[in-house]
Structure 1
Amino acid sequence: MAHQPIEELLPKSGFSVYRLVRMAAIRALELADGKPPLIKKTSSDKLTSIALEEIYQGKLEFAEEADGKSGTPADDKSSSEKSEA
Structure 2
Amino acid sequence: MLYPSIDKLLTKIDSKYSLVSVAAKRARYLQEEGEKGGLDHFVSHKFVGKALEEINEGYLKIKEMNEQEASS
Other structure's SS at 1:33 match: helix
Cα displacement (A) at 1:31: 0.4
Structure with the greater alpha carbon radius of gyration: 1
* Residue 58 (structure 2) aligns with: 58
Length, aligned pairs only: 68
Provide the rounded CA distance (Å) in 2 between the counterparts of 1:40 and 1:9: 19
Provide the rounded CA distance (Å) in 2 between the counterparts of 1:30 and 1:65: 21
- When the two chains are superposed, the root-mean-square deviation of aligned CA atoms in Å is 2.0
Identity over aligned residues, as a percent?
Answer: 35
User: Is 2:38 the partner of 1:27?
Assistant: no
* Residue 8 (structure 2) aligns with: 8
* Residue 43 (structure 2) aligns with: 43
Structure scoring higher RCO (CA < 8 A, sep ≥ 6) equals 2
Cα displacement (A) at 1:41: 1.1
Using the size of structure 2 for normalisation, the TM-score is: 0.79
Using the size of structure 1 for normalisation, the TM-score is: 0.69
Paired AA for residue 54 in structure 1: E
Runs of 5+ unmatched residues, structure 1: 70-85
Paired AA for residue 8 in structure 1: K
